[in-house]
Amino acid sequence: MSTRTTSLATAVSLRGVTKRFAVRGGPALTALASVDLDVYPGEFVSLIGPSGCGKSTLLRIIGDLVPPTEGEVTVNGKPAHQARLDRDYGVVFQDPVLYDWRTVARNIALPLEMMGWDRERRARRVREMLELVELRGFEHHYPWQLSGGMQQRVSIARALSFSPALLLMDEPFGALDEMTRERLNMELLRIWERSGNTVIFVTHSIPEAVFLSTRVVVMSARPGRIAGIVEVDLPQPRTAETRVQPRFFELVTEVRRRLRAGGAGAAAEEGPSEQDLLVAGEGQAP
């Protein structure tokens, strides 16, 4: 794979991305070690790995929310920082992170306000988005009047409202019950097919990763690196039938095998969690 030629065509290109966190009174902790990855436009790529493998950190590095210690991140042919300034990213977190003081409609309109859209245009787009995530009739509700699944749909609508080229999702359905999760998986696929976005999706559910993705990137325990990439050749569009196909189970087994090989054991649970480190601040190791 020659770097120069592919990076022009890639949606995301990572070269030697390394992240070290300073730990008080101890040696620096390497969360990510020399990660190389190319994601092509229109792909749905899942990052999967044990807790603390740095997958959330990697997602934040791609989104220029956390700076890498070393390495290069190119998004749509430009540095990640420039891509963030150009508003190329839509971000969805595990929690919906909706603003309590805004109604559903005004939550979805938040990025549009930041981009200086006029009221008319905002209202039109919010209507489209409510249609897309099937929340019509709830525009004047406050987030705390909605169920968890509905809140997460609002959060997805907000991320898609300004048509970002790249959708970054950090375990968006991790806090939901299994039934809601499967329904939202279907909805997400439908939205992805319609919008043609590139999606990078962090999860620790193997079936979810296989069901949704075109490729599954398996990461190893700390220090996080790519332990393997599984191409998901299940037919599109995916349906409820997909989950019972023999090929689906083969792929799930394949991902599981690679996770094991990558050392996804109890060892990964030791030490401070990735979330702790991220929230603790930008403790950059020297």
Partner 1 sequence: MSTAQAEGARRAPLGWVARRRGAAARKVAVFILVLGALWGLWELARALGEASGLRLGAFEVNDRTMPHVHDMLRQFVQPSRRNGPLLIAVLLQAAAFTAKEAVVGFLIGATVGFVIGVLLSNFRLLERGLLPYIVASQTVPILAIAPMVVVWMGAGLFSVAVIAAYLTFFPVAINTLRGLRSADPRAHELMASYAADRWRVLWKLEIPASLPYLFTALRIAAPASVVGAIIGELPSSIQGGLAGAILNFNQYYVSNPPALWATNIVAALLGMAFFGAVVLLERLVVHRAPEHVA
Q: Could you tell me which of 10, 11, 20, 58 has the C-alpha nearest to residue 201?
A: 58
CB 81 within 8 A of CB 64: yes
CB 48 within 8 A of CB 259: yes
Residue 156 beta carbon to partner 1: minimum distance, rounded to whole angstroms: 13
Residue 265 beta carbon to partner 1: minimum distance, rounded to whole angstroms: 29
Q: Could you tell me which of 80, 75, 61 has the C-alpha nearest to residue 17?
A: 61
Residue 108 beta carbon to partner 1: minimum distance, rounded to whole angstroms: 13
Residue 36 beta carbon to partner 1: minimum distance, rounded to whole angstroms: 24
Of 114 and 261, the one with the shorter C-beta distance to partner 1 is 114
Of 146 and 191, the one with the shorter C-beta distance to partner 1 is 146
Residue 79 beta carbon to partner 1: minimum distance, rounded to whole angstroms: 14
Cα–Cα distance, 188 to 194 (Å, whole number): 10
Whole-number Cα distances in Å, 175 to 10, 105, 239: 31, 23, 23
CA-CA-CA-CA dihedral for 216, 222, 225, 230, to nearest 10: -20
Q: Which residues bind partner 1 (CB under 8 A)?
A: 60, 63-65, 84-87, 89-91, 93, 95, 97, 99-102, 110-111, 113-115, 134, 137-138, 141-147, 149-150, 168, 279
Of 107 and 220, the one with the shorter C-beta distance to partner 1 is 107
Residue 234 beta carbon to partner 1: minimum distance, rounded to whole angstroms: 25
Residue 22 beta carbon to partner 1: minimum distance, rounded to whole angstroms: 18
Of 97 and 229, the one with the shorter C-beta distance to partner 1 is 97
Q: Could you tell me which of 4, 17, 117 has the C-alpha nearest to residue 64?
A: 17
DSSP one-letter string for 39-100: E-TT-EEEEE-STTSSHHHHHHHHTTSS--SEEEEEETTEEHHHHHHTT-EEEE-SS----T
Of 75 and 218, the one with the shorter C-beta distance to partner 1 is 75
Of 199 and 255, the one with the shorter C-beta distance to partner 1 is 199
Of 32 and 109, the one with the shorter C-beta distance to partner 1 is 109
- Sheet containing 70-75: give its strands across: 29-39, 12-21, 70-75, 78-79
